[in-house]
Amino acid sequence: MRIVLLDKTPTGQDAIWTAPDGTVHEFFQFNDRGRGPKKYISYQLDDKGLIRSENSKGVDYMKTPVEESFSFSGGQAAWKNQAEDQKQARADGKFFLDLDGGPEAQAILARALLKSETGKLALLPGGEASIRKDQSLTVQASGRSVTTTLYAINGLGYSPVYVWLDENRQFFAAVTGGFAFAVIREGFESAVPILRDAQLKVENSRAATLASTLTHKVAGDLIIRDTSVFDSQTGKLIPHQRVTVRGQRILSMEADRGQTTPENAQVIDGSGKTLLPGLWDMHQHLFDELAFLDIATGITTARDLGNPIESLAKLRSEIDAGQQIGPRIVPAGFIDGPGPYEGPIKVLAATPAEAKQRVDRYAELGYVQIKIYSSMKPELVPVIAEEAHKRGLRVSGHVPSGMIAEQFVRDGADEIQHINFIFLNFMPDVKETRTPARFIEPGKRGGNLDLNSPKVNEFIAFLRGRHTVVDPTLMTFENLYLDRPGQAALADKDMFDRLPVQVQRASRSGGGALSAADPAVDKQYRAAFANMLRMVRKMHDSGVQIVAGTDAGSGYALDRELELYAEAGIAAPEILRMATFQAAQVMHKDGQLGSITPGKYADLILVNGDPASDIHQIRNVEVVVKNGDLYRPAELYQAFGIRPR
């Protein structure tokens, strides 16, 4: 038996047993705020450790039913799941990668790779995996001792997949950073921090090598000549400009008249291109891989809206030290109430005293915002808001269960995360919003909300009067309501052909999307999302500040978020202002960031084209400058297996 941990808290199990006929059975489940998979899987292996038959059935993370089957016979492989129904001839020696398996599948792959003479295996449906042994540790618990070895498997996605095997090459643990997710052999839960620290050293070494190789330090001045500069304060383009960066700062911006170039300067030709301030993603939960992909996208500042304190501190320090490529991080502290649906970051408060203590700790750590989560007692919201405002911190979050958005704002919230909570304001009968009901009910009923009704107009006027900021994360709801198994996720569509094969498969799996097999429900979801677009446009036109955030882990998801604002009818220059200067204003960082102004930090992106006339061209970032250091997205993407355009 293995235990699933989420930020040190047991939240599920992974049971493995072998039948008399040699079939390996697995039952895997965990609970994350009412979400989480529950799957039954069976595997049959050959003498090389390759899967010859696999069947799984259950529900995925969003509780959508999933079923997968794989078989191999006579040299032909056949498999079927929610995204694929395929056959492949001449499949001998290839390893099938499932979409709906459990943690045991990692160990099966690792053992098969270790049995291979080359340490490599061709994969089904495509690609190749390889394995590397990193280090061994002996861990003890309850009088038992196990020597476990860390293996890195390459070829499955952007970064290596890590798995810990015991002396017999049996699964011992799989750990991650970020939200501190772990699966480990029962009884050895106390060893998770030891394994995580050891694994992080390996991951850090890789990140440091990439940072050293792909961060281009500029010895003299950096000059971007004959470029159109996007003035993020006015939304206007200023043509034929020459921008000079010296060290970490913007030294000057002036008309390009063919001036003499200083000796030792590095010059970039910006003709036909647009220079913008670095982008802001105002809703992320950062981890190493996302930090790297942010810079590749052109995101030079990210607001982190919930991470374990230790994990985020480590990532920030590594970025600051040049050991990890990543954006500037603006931290928000996460607080939830205890209970069966408590959030994955275990900073909890059940009393006024505890609530104040949590706020004060974040303030002392230099955080600038508090994010309240869904299980917080409504009566504690004003307590948190008062203490946070006293300490100079903003307050935002999910609208806690038992409240509606208007009450949340009246009790002191400065900002609302996610467009569904705006719609739930008009569904007061939906009392339980700690569960997936907070997605499902707005999806089924949101299309019927009359946006021109007095109650909607009054609420929007109320938000404007309170200077409330809204972080809608539209692309998240596009995923939930419009993505379907078998089709590339809409957020990935522009990048899809460039992605690694296994990332493409995951994109087509519909993971995270709500089931809409019923045509009537599908119609409801599509109507709801269309109304969400209209709501964002209406709020923007009415003077409510919108900030661009994704709550996603690809970096380039921000491109899709900005495109959705354009689909809603917001003009491209206004969208670019949201993602640059206005974001900096909201976070009181506009004195140093958010516009191309001499004296400000040199956070810049050079785009091939004019995104101020066509927001889609924001995807064409050729050069990123962060804090005066230069990055080339083509190089960054290649390091993560993403092919060039």
Check if the beta carbon of residue 505 is closer than 8 Å to that of residue 77. no
Which has the minimum average pLDDT: 125-134, 310-319, 498-507, 614-623?
A: 498-507
Residues 6+ apart with CB under 8 A from 524: 443, 444, 445, 447
Segment 222-236 shows an average pLDDT of 98
Q: What residue has token string 């090598």?
A: 209
Convert the pLDDT of each residue in 240-293 to its tens digit. Answer: 999 999 999 999 999 999 888 888 999 999 999 999 999 999 999 999 999 999
Which has the minimum average pLDDT: 187-201, 451-465, 502-516?
A: 502-516
- Report CA torsion sign: 255, 258, 260, 261: positive
Question: What are the domain boundaries of the chain?
Answer: 2-213, 418-570
Distance CA 246, CA 612 (A): 27
Distance CA 370, CA 330 (A): 11
Nearest residue to 613 via CA among 231, 151, 236, 291? 236
Which has the minimum average pLDDT: 126-130, 147-151, 341-345, 512-516?
A: 512-516
Which pLDDT score is estimated for 518? 85
The average confidence (pLDDT) of the chain is 95
Residue 517 predicted with pLDDT over 80: no
Which pLDDT score is estimated for 35? 84
Distance CA 536, CA 540 (A): 6
CA angle in degrees (0–180, nearest 5) for 275-158-317: 65
Check if the beta carbon of residue 597 is closer than 8 Å to that of residue 229. no
Q: For the chain, what percentages of helix, strand and coil (3-state, to nearest 5) are there?
A: 30, 30, 40
Which pLDDT score is estimated for 514? 82
Which tokens go with 377?
A: 């007692």
Segment 476-485 shows an average pLDDT of 93
Residue 496 CA: distances (Å) to CA of 85, 507, 576, 643: 19, 8, 24, 10
Convert the pLDDT of each residue in 481-494 to its tens digit. Answer: 999 888 999 999 99
Segment 92-105 shows an average pLDDT of 93
- The band of 594, judged by pLDDT with boundaries at 50, 70 and 90, is very high
Which pLDDT score is estimated for 179? 61
Check if the beta carbon of residue 475 is closer than 8 Å to that of residue 130. no
DSSP track, 348-395 = B--SHHHHHHHHHHHHHTT--EEEE-TTS-GGGHHHHHHHHHHTT-EE
- The band of 180, judged by pLDDT with boundaries at 50, 70 and 90, is confident
Convert the pLDDT of each residue in 106-147 to its tens digit. Answer: 999 999 999 999 999 999 999 899 999 999 999 988 788 999
Which tokens go with 570?
A: 């917001």
Distance CA 551, CA 261 (A): 43
216/34: higher pLDDT: 216
Which pLDDT score is estimated for 178? 58
Torsion, Cα 420 422 426 428, to 10 degrees, reads 70
- Report CA torsion sign: 105, 106, 111, 113: positive
DSSP track, 22-41 = S-EEEEEEE-BTTB--EEEE
Q: What percent of the chain has pLDDT over 70?
A: 99
How many residues belong to the chain? 645
Which pLDDT score is estimated for 459? 98
Which pLDDT score is estimated for 247? 97
24-30 and 545-546 strand pairing: unpaired
- The band of 470, judged by pLDDT with boundaries at 50, 70 and 90, is very high
Distance CA 603, CA 21 (A): 61
Angle between helices 519-541 and 474-482 (to 10 degrees): 170
Say what the pTM is: 0.91
Q: What residue has token string 């869904």?
A: 374
Residues 6+ apart with CB under 8 A from 342: 33, 336, 348, 373, 375
Which pLDDT score is estimated for 7? 77
Distance CA 495, CA 616 (A): 12
384/343: higher pLDDT: 384
Residue 619 predicted with pLDDT over 70: yes
Distance CA 442, CA 444 (A): 6
Convert the pLDDT of each residue in 557-589 to its tens digit. Answer: 999 999 999 999 999 999 999 999 999 999 999
Convert the pLDDT of each residue in 599-612 to its tens digit. Answer: 999 999 999 999 99
- The band of 520, judged by pLDDT with boundaries at 50, 70 and 90, is very high
Segment 180-205 shows an average pLDDT of 91
Which pLDDT score is estimated for 85? 93
Convert the pLDDT of each residue in 57-85 to its tens digit. Answer: 999 888 888 999 999 999 999 999 988 99
Residue 231 CA: distances (Å) to CA of 248, 256, 385: 20, 16, 35
Residue 209 CA: distances (Å) to CA of 235, 619, 629, 639: 39, 26, 16, 11
DSSP one-letter code for 617: G
Nearest residue to 146 via CA among 196, 186, 177? 186
Q: What percent of the chain has pLDDT over 90?
A: 87
Torsion, Cα 518 29 555 591, to 10 degrees, reads 110
Distance CA 241, CA 226 (A): 5
Which pLDDT score is estimated for 177? 65
- Report CA torsion sign: 211, 214, 215, 216: positive
Distance CA 384, CA 123 (A): 51
- The band of 239, judged by pLDDT with boundaries at 50, 70 and 90, is very high
